[in-house]
Amino acid sequence: MDKLSSEKIFSKTLKYVFFKMLIPIISLVVSLLSIKIISAITLQIRKGSENPDIANAANGELGIIGTLIWIVITLGFAFGIQFFWGYKFRAAHAAIVTDAVSVGVFPDDMKGMAKESLEYRFPTCNDYFLYSRMVKKAIAQLQKDLNTYAENKMDNPVLGKLISFSQIFIGWALSYTYDLILGYTFWRDGKPLYTSAADGVAIYYNCWKRITRGVMFLAIEIIVGMVVTFVFFGAIGAAVLAPSYGAIAGGLAGAAVGYFICLAAKSCVDSNLMIKTMTPYFEEAQYAEITEDERGTIYRTSPKYAKLYQKSQAELAQEQAQGGY
C-alpha cells in the first residue's frame, strides 16, 4: 500500500471539508434569522396590547411559544439539510480519502468516483441512514463498554463518575471513527453492504488502541473546547435574550448557537482525524481475517453489534440465494 501524507490528502480534499463545514454554518444562519424574526413578531404583539398588565402577563407565554417555534424551525431545517445533502458530502469525502489511502494516488475524477461509489453502495438516502444508524450504534456501544471498563478499574469513585459523565463527549469526539467504517465499506465493495460494515467494526474493535494512540490528546482538546463553547454561548444567550424570553430560553438559544459552531469546527477536525487514522486502520484491514471467535466475542459484548451482524448474515444469505456473492 503506497502512502500519501495526511497533509497532502487533507489539502487535496479541502473542498469537501469546506462543504461539510458549510452544512452546520447554513443551519446556524437559519437559526439566527428565525430568532430575529420571531423576536420581532413577539415584540410587535406586546406593543399592540394597550393594557400593560395584559402585555406583561403574555410576555412569558410569548417567550415559551416563540422558543418552541424556534426549536422546531432550527431542528427541522438542520435535519432536512443533513438528510438531503449533508450525508453526501461526508460519504463522498470518505470514499475519496479511502481511494487515496488504499491506492496511493488520487482518482483523476474525484467527484465522479465519489458519486459512483455513493450510488453503488447507497442508491437512496434511506439506505445510507439505515446503514449509518446501525453502524454508529454498534461503535457507540463498544466505546461505552470500553469506558465502563475504565470506570470500574478506577479506585477513586470521583474519577470513575467523571469518566461515566464524559462518555457522551467522548463519543462525540470520536465520531470520526464512523468514517473509518464507511471507508472500509467503500473499499470492500465486493462484499455485501452490512457484511463489510460488520467486518469493519470488528477490525476497529481489535486495533482501536493503535489507531487512536496518536490522536487521543486532540480528542481531549475537542471535549474541553465543546464544554467551553456551550457554557460561553449559553451564558451570552441567557444574558442577551433574558429580557425577551427569560434566562432559560436564552441560555438554550445560546447553547444551540455554540452547538452549530462546534459542528462546523468539528467537521474540519474530524476530517483531519479521519485522514490521520485511515492509514493505520487500512494497514490493519488489508491483512485482517476476522475469525468467528472474534466475532462471537464482540457479538456477546455489544447487542448493537449483534444486530448489525445478524443483518449482515441475513443479507449474505439473500445474496447467496439469488446466486450472488
Q: How does pLDDT run across 81-108, given as a tens digit for each residue?
A: 887 888 889 899 999 999 998 888 888 8
What is the rounded CA–CA span in Å between residue 120 and residue 135? 18
* Whole-number pLDDT of residue 52: 57
Query: By mean pLDDT, which of 30-44, 207-221, 274-288, 289-303 is the weakest?
Result: 207-221
What is the rounded CA–CA span in Å between residue 270 and residue 177? 9
* Residue type at position 144: K
What is the rounded CA–CA span in Å between residue 320 and residue 119? 22
Cell of 292: 468467528
For 218, counting Cβ atoms within 10 Å of its Cβ (0-12 exposed, 13-18 middle, 19+ buried), the class is middle
What is the rounded CA–CA span in Å between residue 11 and residue 169? 28
pLDDT tens digits for 47-75?
665 555 545 545 566 667 777 888 889 88
3 CB-near residues (< 8 Å, 6+ apart)? 101, 104, 279
* Whole-number pLDDT of residue 150: 46
Q: Which residue, among 23, 33, 3, has the nearest Cα to 87 in the 3D structure?
A: 23
200 CB-near residues (< 8 Å, 6+ apart)? 135, 180, 181, 184, 185, 188, 285
- Work out the pLDDT band at 114, boundaries 50, 70, 90: very high
Query: By mean pLDDT, which of 109-113, 243-247, 278-282, 288-292 is the weakest?
Result: 243-247
Q: Across the chain, how many H-helices and E-strands are there?
A: 14, 0
Give 120 or 269, the one with higher predicted confidence.
120
- Work out the pLDDT band at 167, boundaries 50, 70, 90: low
145 CB-near residues (< 8 Å, 6+ apart)? 301, 302
* Whole-number pLDDT of residue 170: 57
Question: Residue 269 in contact with residue 179, Cβ under 8 Å?
Answer: no
Indicate left, alpha or beta for 302 from its phi (over 0: left) and psi (-120 to 50: alpha): beta
* DSSP conformational letter for 280: H
| Mean pLDDT taken over the chain | 79
Q: State which of 122-131, 147-156, 159-168, 212-221 shows the largest mean pLDDT.
A: 122-131
* DSSP conformational letter for 21: H
Cβ neighbours, 10 Å, residue 239: 13
pLDDT tens digits for 168-215?
555 655 677 888 999 999 998 888 999 999 999 988 888 777 776 666
Indicate the pTM of the whole model. 0.78
What is the rounded CA–CA span in Å between residue 197 and residue 307? 12
* Whole-number pLDDT of residue 183: 92
What is the rounded CA–CA span in Å between residue 72 and residue 101? 41
Cell of 246: 427569560
* Whole-number pLDDT of residue 291: 78
Residue-by-residue DSSP string for 96-123: HHHHHHHHSS--SSHHHHHHHHHHHH-S
Average confidence (pLDDT) over 314-325: 75
Average confidence (pLDDT) over 111-120: 92
Q: Phi, psi (5° rounding) for residue 8?
A: -70, -40
Handedness of CA 209, 215, 221, 222 (dihedral sign): negative
What is the rounded CA–CA span in Å between residue 176 and residue 178? 5
* DSSP conformational letter for 166: T
* Whole-number pLDDT of residue 320: 76
* Whole-number pLDDT of residue 55: 52
